[in-house]
Structure 1
Amino acid sequence: MLAAQRRDLLLARLRQDQRVVAKDVAAELDVSEDTIRRDLRDLAAAGLCQRVYGGALPASPAVADYPTRRGVGVASKQRVAAAAAALIQPGTTVVVDGGTTALAVIQVLPTTLAATVVTHSPTVAAALAQHPAVEVYLLGGRLFKHSVVTCGAAAVEAAQAVNADVFLLGVTGVHPDAGLTTGDADEAAMKRALARRSADTYVLASAEKIGAASRFTVLPITAVAGIVTDAPADDDTVRRLTEADIPIIHA
């Protein structure tokens, strides 16, 4: 089998099984594991998979820059946003992550909602500037331009003053094996800091993030109160999460 054919097969397996185990594919094709690992390295370099120990997982399309992500899965994000907005109760303090799904949540909040929003996203804060009843706290720090959020030591220190009821967490990947992941180490650390300051964390997971993985772990799946997603109930990842007793909020 030619290299291009092997890579096509690997991509098909990623779509079908949401993971590839190198030794299993090597045995099936009667080639060395090194050969499969080289193929996976090439696919990872092209952004088509996320390599992990022993194989690979599907790469998340959500690791693109902010302007590109605004055009990805728009309808899916709107469905997730509508379901997540219902988690914000009057009088509560809510931490809202950065990202396009978080911005969609802000855009559907009722104008009568009186609550406090803490965010490290200037974009989210600006979107709330005209809301008549939501008080906004913007956490400062180094601006991570890729996602348009603050992170780094100053932002993590600012988060220590927060005590929130709910954290709406954005990630780029939700996978039963890899957990909740994102593409930048500092951003992952900031998300963890915000989760530690919140009573309950809910994941904003539009369909393209379900079953995908990125380089850096934010939290294990079991560390959150629920996952808000519009992925169908019969999706393999959703099924595995449900079997693991992870609460799924269907959008």
Structure 2
Amino acid sequence: MLTEERHQLIRDQLAADGRVLAGELASRFGVSEDTVRRDLRELAKAGQLRRVYGGAVASAPFAAATLSQRSRHAVEEKTRLAKAAVGLLVAGQSLFIDGGTTNEAIARAIPRDIQLTVATNSLGVASALADLPLVELIVLGGRYVPDLGTCVGADTLAAVAQLGADLFFLGSCGLDVARGVTAFDSAEAEVKRAMVKNSAGIVIAVTDDKLATAAPYRVAGADAIRHLVVEKTAPAATLADFQSQGAQIHFA
């Protein structure tokens, strides 16, 4: 079976079922799982699917999901990641926290007795931090995008340019050693890149389904990540690749 024939059959199954499993595809096509994984990598780079552990899911429905829909996905996993992520905080730090449901969980997990300065373009993050007595909260304005839950655009970028942070809790749509940190929205990616530029270190807390996947817009290389907070079920080989790029791995 030719490569393009396999790719079309994968696209067809994703359209019908929303997901594929590498082992099942290998049996169906009569090829090795390594061949299937290569097919999935190529389709992911073309933005036609999103790789997850053991296979892939259709990228378009996920990218188009509303903030409310994303907030109901992997709630327990994000809560555990958030608890581990706030363990990296040191009193007196300045932080950027951008959008995403995992970052909102991190904001909710920040203890009330730690003094921080936090700048965010996420209304959800800002709401979670609003009543913390020791947090100096800076809300970065701009054009609000409901599906993202964040402000983007020229005003947001101008505000970011005036600030610096010890750590940037970066919400990642896709995370791959070769492609680095990626996002689905170009304006959102631009704000993320500005925050990366003005931060001393990046923290990413990520569920397994985003590891070894990529979205269309690049934010930063894998070597920019200082701390990677993951589930205990995260694949060891993938984590070793990130460690080789300098990331410290923390398990939730």
Q: Give the shorter-chain TM-score range.
A: 0.7 to 0.9
* C-alpha contact (below 8 Å) 1:76/1:207 kept by paired residues: no
CA–CA distance in structure 2, aligned partners of residues 133 and 176 of structure 1 = 36
Cα distance in 2 for partners of 1:144, 1:215 equals 18
- Distance (whole Å) between structure 2 residues aligned to residue 44 and residue 181 of structure 1: 11
1:199 has 2:189 as partner: no
Partner of 2:75: 74
Aligned to 2:166, what secondary structure does the other structure show?
Answer: strand
Q: Is 2:21–2:56's contact at 8 Å kept on the other side of the alignment?
A: no
CA distance in 2, matches of 1:142, 1:154: 8
The range that moved more, 170-179 or 224-233, is 224-233
Separation in 1, partners of 2:121, 2:151: 5
**Does the Cα contact within 8 Å between 2:81 and 2:231 map onto a contact in 1?**
yes
CA distance in 2 between counterparts of 1:19 and 1:217 reads 25
Mean alpha-carbon deviation: is it higher for 9-18 or for 159-168?
9-18
Q: Which runs of 5+ in 1 are unaligned?
A: 26-36, 51-55
TM-score, with normalisation over the residues of structure 1? Answer: 0.78
C-alpha separation between the residues in 1 aligned to 2:139 and 2:99?
A: 11
Alpha carbons 1:58, 1:212 under 8 Å: kept: no
Cα shift at 1:156: 0.5
1:21 aligns with 2:30: no
Give the superposition deviation at 1:218: 1.0
1:222 maps to 223
SS at match of 1:198: coil
- Residues 161 and 76 from structure 1, CA distance in 2 versus in 1: closer, same or farther, beyond 3 angstroms? same
Query: Counterparts in 2 of 1:22-41, with a 5 A limit?
Result: 22=39
* Equivalent residue, structure 2, for 1:12: 21
Partner secondary structure for residue 187 of structure 1: helix
Q: How far has the Cα of 1:189 moved from its partner?
A: 0.8
Distance 1:94 1:18, change over 3 A: farther
1:162-204 Cα deviation digits (max 9, x unpaired): 1111110001111122211110111011001011111111112
Q: 1:105 to 1:18 in 2, by over 3 A?
A: farther
Deviations 1:48-82 (A, max 9, x none): 447xxxxx986668633211110111111111111
**1:95-149 CA distance string (max 9 Å, x none):** 1111111111111111111111110111211221111211100001111221110
Per-residue CA deviations over 1:10-48 (Å, capped at 9, x if unaligned) read: 9433996697435xx9xxxxxxxxxxx9xx59x966xx4
How many residues align? The count is 228
Q: TM (normalized to structure 2)? A: 0.78
Which residue of structure 1 aligns with residue 152 of structure 2? 151
Q: Percent identity?
A: 31
Structure 2 alignment gaps of length 5 or more: 26-32
Find the aligned partners of 1:20 and 1:71 in 2 and give their Cα distance. 29
Pair 1:163–1:231, CA change in 2 (3 A)? same
Are 1:49 and 1:57, in contact at CA under 8 Å, matched by a contact in 2?
yes
- Counterpart residue identity of residue 180, structure 2: G
- Contact 2:201–2:224, Cα closer than 8 Å, also in 1: no
Aligned-partner Cα distance in 2 for 1:134–1:66: 25
**For residues 7 and 185 of structure 2, what CA distance do their matches in structure 1 show?**
30
